[in-house]
Chains A and B, each alone.
Chain A
């Protein structure tokens, strides 16, 4: 895993985003400036782990490193606090991946950098049955 991603492993492992110290608005991905009130006083905050699928796609033509998984579903998940996460959906029957479906965050292997490279883990979401 490139240092670029290791650096922010907490964001990938525990879904750590941002919380505005002033107006308490929460964001994922993290922000440098509050999108609600404009404050620069931003703290890290763990996001809620459940939400609903806002929209989804099934990707058939992936990037290098994701070929073995394709085709795979990707979704925009609106978390309970209003933040929207772009994520893979895993371990869910194809027909369950629909707009409005309730989903829960889980930790999974995201990519492997070659045969001897590091393994990157991060959040993916599962449809709740």
Chain B
């Protein structure tokens, strides 16, 4: 089969914030319009909406047709794609696969989540639906609780200190200062992380991505679909893979081995033909500090037990060997769950088209995005390069 090429030809997003004045549809339309305005001659042939809990958060399902109709795209196929916190990247992966295969020439991908309309306990309940109703939710374990169990196991087994675990949240906040769309644009110190309120011991508030509303959108097209787009404003999709692991983290032989990320990263890189060393930046799924660290280990950028330690040593800063979370990652840009994967892809697009402003990774040629649902239950990795 002749391989076609697929590109991200445009991106748009809302600020991640407490959008009291905007509905889930308002946010979706705002992001989608911004993305579509970048390619005015392109009419997307399909719409994919990445979203986790529109039913719990906004009493709304049927998001595909709802968004397509609001945009005046009646007639095109439109679906919601759900894989918990990796819904956004899963939606993109389906769009990319169809465009890359030539089944369609272009698609609009919208990731959206409305979280803040819910009380905090209800947000916990909605997020916990990513985990087993019968054996996780039933006993009163939230998603943060599972990550708290994981964090203690990581710290005790790998001798990781509180300050080392804090390194990724500190890095995220530093990178978000110049990011206009980030939820928290304030630098923090390890002391602030260590003094923040306890959520699920040992995880504190600043180990955890915040609750927020937001939407991000990208347009993906192949050579036929992208004919009207400017090459300098395109990023090429070099590979993409979704992988799933044994469902609950406590059912696995080694909880610290993120097999879904390991497999997705390996396969996506293989498709791209790149070695891991060629990658210039990674947009990492650090919904919790420990998850970011274990993800870096699963991708092989840090050795086992070294993810947080390497971050503390400065390996992953914006000006360092391998910048991660160039706009603040999940902790500081924010984590409107179903939208996050699309934010990451939009950010990679900005980097590879030199539109990243104060967050630009100079000379970036290749970037990786990693979006996770559950505790590395679903992992979605994409590899991007310049189109020119």
A interface residues with partner B (beta carbon < 8 Å) = 4-5, 8, 11-12, 29, 35, 54-67, 69, 71-72, 74-76, 84-88, 99, 110-111, 120, 122, 124
Contacts and interface: CB of A to CB of B under 8 A. Distances in A.
A60 B149 contact: no
B200 A58 contact: yes
A57 B138 contact: no
Contacts of A29: 132, 134-135, 248, 251
Interface stretch (B120-128, B179-187, B227-235): B120-128
Given A58-B200, A110-B139, A122-B139, A63 B149 contact: no
Given A63-B128, A63-B142, 11 more contacts: A12-B138, A29-B134, A55-B152, A55-B156, A60-B197, A60-B199, A64-B122, A69-B140, A84-B251, A85-B250, A87-B139
Contacts of B200: 57-61
Contact of B140 (A5, A11, A85, A110): A110
Contacts of A57: 145, 148-149, 151-152, 200-203
B149 A74 contact: yes
A65 to B, nearest CB: 7
A59 B140 contact: yes
A74 B152 contact: no
Nearest to B144: A61
B141 interface: yes
B144 to A, nearest CB: 7
B201 A55 contact: no
Contacts of B198: 58, 60, 71
Interface residues on B, range: 35 or more
For the residues of B in contact with A, the DSSP-based class is helix
B309 to A, nearest CB: 20
A26 to B, nearest CB: 13
Contacts of B304: none
Nearest to B246: A35
Contact of A63 (B125, B150, B197, B255): B125
Contacts of A87: 139
Contacts, number: 113
A60 B142 contact: no
A66 B140 contact: yes
A124 B134 CA distance: 14
**Most central of B140, B144, B198, B200 by chain A CB within 10 Å:** B140
A87 B138 CA distance: 9
B156 to A, nearest CB: 6
Interface in B141-172: 141-142, 144-146, 148-153, 156
B140 A61 contact: no
Contacts of B255: 55
Contacts of A58: 148, 198, 200-201
Nearest to A87: B139
B136 interface: yes
Given A29-B132, A29-B251, A61-B199, A5 B138 contact: yes
A35 B250 CA distance: 14
Contacts of A35: 246, 251
A87 B135 CA distance: 9
A20 B151 CA distance: 32
B23 interface: no
A72 B149 CA distance: 13
B142 A99 contact: no
B274 interface: no
A88 B136 CA distance: 11
Contacts of A8: 134
A62 B198 CA distance: 12
A74 B120 contact: no
B133 interface: yes
A66 B144 CA distance: 14
Nearest to B198: A60
A72 B145 CA distance: 10
Contacts of A72: 140
B257 to A, nearest CB: 15
A60 B140 CA distance: 11
B141 A86 contact: yes
A74 B121 contact: no
Interface in B21-41: none
